[in-house]
A and B are shown apart, each in its own frame.
Chain A
Amino acid sequence: MEIDFQQIRFFTALMAEGSACRASLELRTSRSNVRRVWQLMEEELGEKLFEVRDRGELKPTTTALHFEREMSSLLDEIRGFEAAVRKIHQTGRVLRLGADRSIFNTRHFGHLFNSVRDNPQFRVSFVEVKVDEGRAALESGSCDLVFSVDGVAGRRLETRELPPISLAVACLKEPPETEAIQPCQLSERSWSLATFAGPKRSLETLRQIQDHGAGEGRLCSQNQFIDWAEDSRSPGTDAVVCVRPVSFRRLPQVNFVRLDSEVGFPLNVSYLKQHPYEFLPSTVDQMHRALNPPARGI
């Protein structure tokens, strides 16, 4: 005998409400649907469950009373399951943020993390996801949100743009009180752009900076950038345009100054369209708001 959860729900409502009409209101369905499920159950059980009195009032038969009694342990287990789920919801579901190492190591990501850290709906953890593994990581469920420069393509994925990662200039000689450097000020120096998120995107960004009147620049890798910063006497480069890393405190001789320009690396966040966590879109909204300073946003 197969009694499914819908039948049990309908039966409980009929027992509690005492009429098909009120049960249908309670179950938010039509009266004929209630009747259909009720009849189906009576066929399964081979016995009548309710006697209809005047004005549609129902009187449960002994079978129905037996059924209600026998059902209570199943209902207890179902309630136990729901309670367990609710408990997990209350303590906060685990939200795994995935990104490439270089994206984690930015101030931008730090802001982003801090904007959602206190949300009681979830507890945040990090997963390192290589640039070309974003889709696999999302579809396998090893992380819930993937941050990347180019976004993650996939039929089942939703990708949304976040405020771009702005650029900074690492200088050796700049006095610390300087707040920002105009791109045109770069033309007086020999400068490089530290690659971020692949050579193609970096080359494009280099051209954009040059178009803003910054003169001729070169590309250098993250490793070259660090070598340069550690060995400050190396000739040939006065400044490196870069995404400001978080872990750079060990080099006090380097000053970071904001590059006053719209040019930057885009940042995208991707997630499964049918992710069990219903709060992902709103969380992304929250991140978006946090990264967009109100002065610019409003």
Chain B
Amino acid sequence: MEFDLPSLETFVRLADCGSFSEVARAQKISQPAASLRVAKLENSIGLRLFSRHPDGLQLTRDGAGLLEQARRILVEHRRLGVRMERLHRESSGAVKVMIDTSIAGGRIRDYLRQPANQLAPLEIVGPGTGRTWDEALRQDEVDLVITGTFLHAGDQPQLQRYDLEHQKGTTLAWNPAYFDFDTRNFRFPEALRSTILIPGERLVPGYQPFLERWCLDSYGALPPDVLVFDDEAAALESCCVGLGVMIFPGDAERRMSLEATGLGVVKTFEFLLPDAYSYSIFVRAGEKHASVLKTAIKIAEIYPSLDGMDRRC
């Protein structure tokens, strides 16, 4: 019984989406090649996995029975790759850092990109599309994560955090040309009558679900539209052109230098959300790898001056 990994992957993907063309596109092969891979797997295990019907593919009973096991093989295989990469990083003293796409993150990224500032060979990545940041860190895909979090989203027993910044409440910002909110007597439900721009799970984990639930529970309605951003700069730009009201946790006015943009700004709920937003460095609890810890300390040391540097500009 000799089957190969690409065929197994085609099998699992095909079972999930049911279309050869989609799988072929995802695996970057032609459609006949995808079909051939399944046929190859079927022949090597001597079982039919799919039956083809006019309205699509259907897993056979044998196929359905083997699907989960095949999925586990793929997961284990991916983990093996990740663990080997980590071992490799450990032995070569390299560090893989995930930095979110906030404006502060951009500064750290720029700073770390300069070879003179690197204590160890660094690989810098953005938040991936597949796994969440905490999974990526727990499963050894990256060694350091620098990200903002909302409330307790970052409090996990397997992770150790160091807060670079700690901010209260929530900031709302809008383009005064489109919205004429009264800053003095601001009422939150007013903002919910227009499209809102909020950070997504990859920018401020935990914020979006909280805000939606809060709108429903406290005001009985969701805003007409919610635009989710994984990039602070893009959200700011959209707010400036008047797409909607930006609702970001913490002191977004300072973080995103809003005073320079001429936007109307209100900071609210400081009492209700005393530790709404933190910008932190995360490492795995019990991390022993020296260059990871050194890099984390270096970032923590340099962070306040990075902030100031930008301010002076």
By a beta-carbon cutoff of 8 Å, the part of chain A in contact with chain B is: 1-6, 45-47, 63, 66-67, 70-71, 73-74, 76-78, 80-82, 84-85, 88-89, 93-94, 139-142, 144, 274, 276-278
Contacts and interface: CB of A to CB of B under 8 A. Distances in A.
Given A81-B69, A85-B45, A85-B66, A45 B88 contact: yes
A74 B87 contact: no
B46 A4 contact: no
Query: Contact residue range for chain B?
Result: 35 or more
B80 A141 contact: no
B73 A140 contact: no
B297 interface: no
B1 to A, nearest CB: 5
A141 B51 contact: yes
22 contacts: A1-B88, A2-B81, A3-B80, A5-B2, A5-B5, A45-B88, A46-B88, A63-B91, A67-B84, A73-B79, A74-B76, A76-B76, A77-B76, A78-B73, A84-B65, A88-B65, A89-B46, A93-B62, A140-B51, A141-B52, A277-B46, A277-B48
The 9 residue pairs across chains A and B that have the minimum distance between CB atoms: A141-B51, A276-B42, A74-B76, A1-B81, A140-B52, A77-B73, A81-B69, A85-B45, A77-B72
B83 A5 contact: no
Contacts of B69: 77, 80-81, 84
A85 B79 CA distance: 24
Contact of A276 (B46, B72, B87): B46
Given A46-B88, A74-B76, A77-B76, A4 B5 contact: yes
Interface string B24-67: 00000000000000010011011110111100000011100110
B208 to A, nearest CB: 33
B33 to A, nearest CB: 15
Contact of B80 (A63, A74, A80, A277): A74
A139 B52 CA distance: 8
A92 to B, nearest CB: 11
A73 to B, nearest CB: 5
Contacts of B226: none
> Which interface residue of A45, A74, A140, A144 has the most chain B CB atoms within 10 A?
A74
B64 to A, nearest CB: 11
B92 interface: yes
Interface string B79-99: 111111101100110000000
Contacts of A277: 46, 48
Given A74-B77, A140-B52, 20 more contacts: A1-B82, A1-B88, A3-B81, A4-B4, A5-B2, A45-B84, A71-B80, A73-B76, A73-B80, A74-B73, A78-B73, A84-B65, A88-B47, A141-B50, A141-B51, A144-B48, A274-B39, A274-B43, A276-B47, A276-B48
B3 interface: yes
A80 B72 contact: yes
Given A93-B62, A140-B53, A141-B50, A276 B43 contact: yes
B41 to A, nearest CB: 9
Contacts of B43: 274, 276
Question: Chain A binding site: helix, strand, loop or mixed by DSSP?
Answer: helix
A71 B87 CA distance: 13
B77 A81 contact: no
Contacts of B53: 140, 142
> Which interface residue of A1, A73, A276 has the most chain B CB atoms within 10 A?
A276
Contacts of B70: 81
A73 B73 CA distance: 9
B52 A66 contact: no
B306 to A, nearest CB: 32
A142 B58 CA distance: 10
Contact of A1 (B1, B39, B51, B84): B84
Nearest to B92: A46
B189 to A, nearest CB: 51
B48 A141 contact: yes
Contacts of B45: 85, 276
Contacts of B48: 141, 144, 276-277
A67 B2 CA distance: 22
A82 B66 CA distance: 10
A6 B4 contact: yes
A47 B76 contact: no
Contacts of A70: 80, 83-84, 87
Contacts of A1: 81-82, 84-85, 88
